[in-house]
Amino acid sequence: MSNEKILVTQSSMPPYEEYIEAIKPLWDSHWLTNMGMYHQELEEELKKYLDVPGLSLMVNGHMALEMAIQAFGFPEGAEVITTPFTFISTTHAIVRNRLEPVFCDVKLSDGTIDETKIEDLITEKTAAIVPVHVYGNVCNVEAIQKIADKYNLKVIYDAAHAFGVKYRGKGIGNYGDASIFSFHATKVYNTIEGGAVTFSDHKFYEKLYNLKNFGIRGEELVSDIGANAKMNEFCAIMGLCNLKHIDEAIAERKKRHACYMERLANVEGISFFEKKDEEDSNYGYFPILIDGSGEKTRDGVYEELKRHDIYARKYFYPITADQACFRNKYRNVKLHNARMLARQVLVLPLYEKLDMEKIDQIVKYI
């Protein structure tokens, strides 16, 4: 095998000439940020592609979640039921809003929050549920909404992994009170750095606008207290270029996903997450579960691949509740399934330009 490193993902980029041509007008206008014409155009194009009524662009996916949570105005110290089997950003966004994360275990079948355990965690302090469509696996949105309606809770979906995913023919951003997406360079669709909040209530757009732009509503008017979470024009143009190629990119990912499935389907000790029948995937990740019952252990396979310059990832180990920053605060919380998955999951390299021969080599080393 060559000395080329195979990373878990590779950023999608449009043809060089296409992007360079697209950014040329910026040298005439010198309008580089502050909701310029490309920012506005991308908001409109993404609303169409994601099939959502409302969308607000953000500087990144994390700030999208922080701003979405903040926009609901939950009282300080309120509890938010969420999953520990996710990227640390999900938990940080809750904590940085001075809210208390209440961790709910996940399902072994797909890694999403176990909706059957949510109701037992609800108290008089509970304000919201923040589930995650982990790896693009769709949560049980119907059951979660039923619980939220019963207890008058808000539902904010972390859909960072779920760009372009549809469930029952609807864009995934239509579920809950709001959803957030990440357009980080490692995602299926990227704007270099970026993110968005989707929603159905148009008034929510105004709240988010104030939060991401210092509350500025005119040359001499600051109507609210806000931060700076705007997307710049270079990122917006990258997003517009990448959006032209996104369907092709997902189709190429699908081929590679199928290739992995065919070659790993009958390998002893390896299993896969379940997919819902009515779920249209974006093939953003290829996670496998290694049960460790035979000679193969997850960490053993991880190290063997790394020895050959193949950089799979242990997404997500440790779970967020067990990270050092929380200093054992949640050590005794019963999260058996989440901790088990954290010891078993290995995410293999998957991106649109990954050579099929490389997949054969990866499988051989496994």
Domain shared by 114 and 178, yes or no: yes
**CA–CA gap between residue 316 and residue 70 (Å, rounded):** 26
307, 310, 312, 318 alpha-carbon torsion, rounded to 10° = 30
Burial (CB count within 10 angstroms: exposed 0-12, middle 13-18, buried 19+), residue 224: middle
Number of domains the chain is built from: 2
> Which pLDDT belongs to residue 3?
65
CA 346 – CA 361 distance, rounded (Å): 16
Do 273 and 197 sit in the same domain of this protein? no
**Is residue 172 in a domain?**
yes
CB distance 266 to 252 below 8 Å: no
Rounded CA-CA distance 11/210 in Å is 31
Residue 51 within any structural domain of the chain: yes
Tell me, what CATH number does 186's domain have? 3.40.640.10
Residue 37 lies in a domain: yes
Is the four-CA dihedral 219, 222, 223, 225 of positive or negative sign? positive
- Co-location of 28 and 161 in the same domain: yes
Task: Classify residue 6: in a domain, yes or no.
Answer: no
Q: Which of 192, 222, 240 is the last residue of a domain?
A: 240
Return the pLDDT at 316: 97
Q: Amino acid letter at 327? A: R
Please tell me whether residues 217 and 255 are part of one structural domain: no
CATH (domain of 351): 3.90.1150.10
Contact 147, 153 (CB under 8 A): yes
131 and 205 assigned to the same domain = yes
Asked if residue 8 is part of any domain, the answer here is no
3-state secondary structure of 181: strand
Whether residue 14 contacts residue 241, with contact meaning beta carbons closer than 8 Å, is answered with yes
The answer on 251 and 223 residing in a single domain is no
Tokens encoding 52: 């959502």
Q: State whether 224 and 112 are in the same domain.
A: yes
DSSP 118: T
Among the residues of 152-297, which ranges form H helices?
Answer: 203-212, 233-264
- Pair 195, 260 in one domain: no
Which residues span the domain enclosing 188? 16-240
Could you give the C-alpha distances from 176 to 28, 38, 357, in angstroms and in order? 42, 28, 41
Q: Compute CA 343 distance to the chain's CA centroid, rounded to the nearest angstrom.
A: 21
Where among 240, 263, 287 does a domain terminate? 240
Q: Which bin fits 75, alpha (ψ -120 to 50), beta or left (φ > 0)?
A: beta
319 close to 286: Cβ distance less than 8 angstroms: no
Instruction: Give CA–CA dist 43/33, Å, rounded.
Output: 14
How many residues are listed for the chain in this entry?
366
Same domain for 211 and 328, yes or no, is: no
Could you tell me if 199 and 266 lie in one domain?
A: no
Q: How many other CB atoms sit within 10 Å of the CB of residue 282?
A: 22
Give kind and range of the element (H or E) at residue 336: helix 336-344
Picking from 225, 240, 255, the residue at the C-terminal end of a domain is: 240
Give residue 298's pLDDT: 96
- In order along its 366 residues, the chain shows pLDDT tens digits of 456 899 999 999 999 999 999 999 999 999 999 999 999 999 999 999 999 999 999 999 999 999 999 999 999 999 999 999 999 999 999 999 999 999 999 999 999 999 999 999 999 999 999 999 999 999 999 999 999 999 999 999 999 999 999 999 999 999 999 999 999 999 999 999 999 999 999 999 999 999 999 999 999 999 999 999 999 999 999 999 999 999 999 999 999 999 999 999 999 999 999 999 999 999 999 999 999 877 789 999 999 999 999 999 999 999 999 999 999 999 999 999 999 999 999 999 999 999 999 999 999 999
Phi, psi of 160 (to 5 degrees): -55, -30
Q: Specify if 5 maps to a domain.
A: no
Q: Are residues 121 and 216 in the same domain?
A: yes
Asked whether residue 79 is domain-assigned, the answer is yes
In-domain check, residue 10 = no
Residues 250 and 197 reside in one and the same domain:
no
Three-state secondary-structure class, residue 199:
strand
What pLDDT sits at residue 1?
43
